[in-house]
Chain A
Amino acid sequence: MIKQLFSATILVAGTFLTAHAQYSEFDGNPAASQFTLSSDANTLQIGGRISGYYENRLLKDDSNYLKKSHNGWAVKDFDIDILGKTANKFVYEFHASLIDLVTAAATGNTAAPQNSGIKEAYIQYKGWPVKIKFGYDKLPYSQGSMSDVWGTPFWSHANLYGGDLFSRRDFGLTLNYRFLNDRFNAYAGAYSGMGENFFEYGNDASGRFEYVGRIEYSYPAKMKYNLIDEENATVPVFRIAADARYADKTQPKGSSIYTDAPDAPGAYGLKIIDGKKLGYGADAIIKYKGFSATAEIHYTQLKPTNLTDGLYNGTDESKNKKVVNSGGFCLGGNYNWEKKHSVFSVMYEEINANDLYVGIQDWMYLAYAYKFSGFNSVAKIEYYMPVTEDKAQAPLHYTGQLRVGYQIVF
């Protein structure tokens, strides 16, 4: 009943109100694109990003690991973005990763099924206080996920919010409203629940949405989703937020998410399950004089319908109580030394993908960026290493990894 009411609220609000891609990678970002065309009623911005790095893994002496070396060149980004705004306050954006599209086409989408190649494809209306967005974009869930990794010295997001534990993007409807002098910012939305695999499979057989909500409080100013204090905030500014998501994807008889959409559950089988899933989390960021500190915690409670579901790891109901728990935390610290064009970052995370499997993962990340022109033209070096390896769920063949490369945003 509550879910039906929520759906009705969203649909009614969507009829009268409207959305806002505040976490678009190219709309209003300090390191945005640099080509704009305008006519009487339309403005169109064309942008993109190219980046790549050299990767060096410190491999274990593992005779069972046939792929002896993972070292060499890697293309990180080859993105193109088209952002349009009309005089009557509509916004539309299309953002694609060409390298992901090419990889998916060349491998039949087997190399990285979570990276479909489409990153944003939506329309929105910004003419009313409540903004509405319809289409495919990042979900308003998790500060780390909503923030762009290209605006940091790191080459990739932390595992906690990198897309293995929960989906980062999906197709759906998002409402966004700022209130109390912009101090509060709230999001609510209904999505397919298929996450990044929406384009591969469409909707699942359950016919139900995944619901996501987020509320933020910022003081003394509203904040963008940038983890680095490039403004060198003259007074401390912070944001705290809480978010939640819920999906009941119990499959009808004759359907199975695991056979109908085998890539959709993701690396740990958590992103969409045959059953119910409730996730919630909190995050915070503070910036002051070039320093920024971030903290984030997430927890997901999963209730697979079938006791034979692999998520239960063969445990008895007396042990698992028909519940699987997943989650973790991530802490980060950064210093933007603007005079030296330098950014230093450190990050630590711990995740437990499934509490019915023995083992957790702890990771330490160190990174440095030298900004020739902000993050538009930047050299980045990152080193990360497992502090605690989860040998049951995520066995590793290396003890550390170094990435050195360059990034251009245009």
Chain B
Amino acid sequence: MKKSLLILFPFIILLSVGKGRAVTKIKQVGFRLLKSIPEPSDIVFDSLNGHYYVVSDHGQLFECDSVFKVLRVAEKEGLDFEGIEIRDSFIYVSDETPREIYKYKRRDLTFVQKYRVSWGGAMNKAFESISFNYKKNCFVLIAQQPPVIVEYDTSFKQISKYNFTNARSIAGARWYNNKLYLLSSLDATILVCNPTTYNVESTFSVNVLNPEGLSFDSKGRIRIVSDDTRRVYYFNQLPISIQ
């Protein structure tokens, strides 16, 4: 018996060899409890009116003021809203479970139409993030786990697909200053990506439990929502985003 354990031990050590990656920690400067928003899953900042839009796992879209007081709730509900993006006069929301994209008017949150997208992976590991890549003029939807970046045209017809191996999971995505910022929920990191190749240029760790969505305000300060804590966390600008 002791022999068999001794034989197995070196294999365990050999298998345990891995590799690391440089990560810069950024400090949280505050948080706010989102009492009126159950299970917040993504957030986006509207530079036109200074409002935030937050979506919930309960299939709801909320419009909030700058201190996250709920101003409006979209009448049309989905099943499992996980990602949100603003483009032109519309707000696009990813409903993860049924694999659908809801389109709302930015002005009054009235529902416009739905698009069907396709992801065959686990029911709860599909498109938790949606953003617009202005460099390639396409939407990017990212399957959460294992992370796969899928590009869609403006009518949500699939263009191409990239396996993303730099994180265990991706739960949020946001376009800012000509870069795509991805948020890993399992690793609690923000990954700054080249918008053409999606190669990671830098990585920052955030002190947040299960972060699900991120946004930048007009000054480039980061806001991150967490479903598990029902909070929005405040961070200052990333060292690169103020360059």
Task: Spell out A's residues near B (CB within 8 Å).
Answer: 27-28, 30, 32-38, 43, 45, 47, 56, 58, 83, 85, 87, 89, 181-182, 220-223, 230-235, 237, 337, 339-342, 368, 370, 373-374, 379, 381, 383, 400, 402, 404
Contact = CB atoms under 8 A, between A and B. Distances in A.
Given A34-B122, A36-B121, A235-B209, 14 more contacts: A30-B186, A32-B124, A36-B120, A38-B98, A45-B123, A83-B123, A221-B209, A231-B210, A235-B207, A368-B12, A370-B16, A381-B8, A402-B5, A404-B8
A234 B230 contact: no
Interface in B93-152: 97-99, 119-126, 145-146
Contacts of B12: 342, 368, 370, 381
Interface of B: 1, 4-5, 8, 12, 15-20, 33, 35, 38-39, 79, 97-99, 119-126, 145-146, 168, 185-188, 205-210, 226, 228-230
A374 B168 CA distance: 9
A23 B63 CA distance: 32
B18 A339 contact: yes
Nearest to A221: B228
B196 to A, nearest CB: 28
A38 B99 contact: yes
A270 to B, nearest CB: 33
A32 B125 contact: yes
Contact of B4 (A38, A56, A221, A368): A56
Contacts of A87: 79, 98
16 contacts: A30-B186, A32-B123, A33-B122, A33-B123, A36-B120, A43-B99, A85-B123, A87-B98, A234-B188, A235-B209, A339-B18, A370-B16, A374-B168, A381-B12, A402-B4, A402-B5
B8 A234 contact: no
B201 to A, nearest CB: 21
A27 to B, nearest CB: 7
Given A36-B126, A85-B97, A87-B79, A234 B229 contact: no
Given A400-B1, A402-B1, A233 B209 contact: yes
Of the listed residues B4, B98, B230, the one surrounded by the most CB atoms of chain A closer than 10 A to its CB is B98
B209 A341 contact: no
Contacts of B99: 36, 38, 43
A230 B188 CA distance: 11
Chain B: interface secondary structure? loop
A83 B122 CA distance: 10
Contacts of B207: 234-235
Contact of A58 (B1, B35, B39, B120): B1
B141 to A, nearest CB: 15
A36 B119 contact: yes
Contact of B188 (A220, A232, A370): A232
Contacts of B124: 27-28, 32
A27 B168 CA distance: 19
Nearest to B125: A32
A32 B210 contact: no
Nearest to B25: A234
Contacts of A237: 209
A234 B120 contact: no
A370 B8 CA distance: 12
B189 to A, nearest CB: 10
B122 A43 contact: no
Contacts of A368: 12
Given A33-B122, A221-B226, A340 B79 contact: no
Contacts of A341: 15-16, 18
A390 B170 CA distance: 49
B123 A36 contact: yes
A237 to B, nearest CB: 6
> Which 5 A-B residue pairs are closest in the complex by CB-CB distance?
A221-B228, A45-B123, A32-B122, A340-B16, A221-B229
A374 B209 CA distance: 19
Contacts of B186: 30, 230-231
B115 to A, nearest CB: 13
Contacts of B98: 38, 43, 85, 87
Contacts of B205: 234
B126 A342 contact: no
A234 B206 CA distance: 8
Contacts of A373: 146
A370 B17 CA distance: 11
Of the listed residues A34, A89, A234, A379, the one surrounded by the most CB atoms of chain B closer than 10 A to its CB is A234
